[in-house]
Structure 1
């Protein structure tokens, strides 16, 4: 991961917190340092976490490994796409997202 990517990653985390605060979704963000992957996924706020099997849910993954991105601009582009995907859930209800 390029150091210049940290502000975009912070925006992704902040957006997830905003989504959670709205109460329609549970947003999850996970950074896997050993492989440099940033994962984001969402579940409707009324999800029954005891139910099996787990249903499909919206998810996005960005690989930040050095071999994947040759330039900071490429990494910034991919993280911006990740952020824009997540921002759509600020206004989409689970019903709208399923449609």
Structure 2
């Protein structure tokens, strides 16, 4: 899997919500970059509704579970946001599921 991600952040004119479109393959290592982008977006206007659009990305199932967990908790990981500010993150669950390396090895 390629570890390079492309992110596009769009905000509405009223600054009430933002959309972060991700392209590429999201894995356990580079998901940290998504959290940093979400934190920076949240810092622009605290309380902003942030939609993480993964429709054009492939995401490992365990990473998707992690993203959904933090979205439900309304907080980012402590190592990314030690202050644990509220982050109103929602995640599109329609991303293309990627196979984990162990699943690929079993298939071979």
Q: TM-score, normalised by structure 2?
A: 0.27
Q: Which has the higher helix share?
A: 1
Which one has a larger percent strand, Structure 1 or Structure 2?
2
Q: Which has the higher contact order (CA 8 A, sep 6+)?
A: 1
TM-score computed with the length of structure 1 as normaliser? 0.29
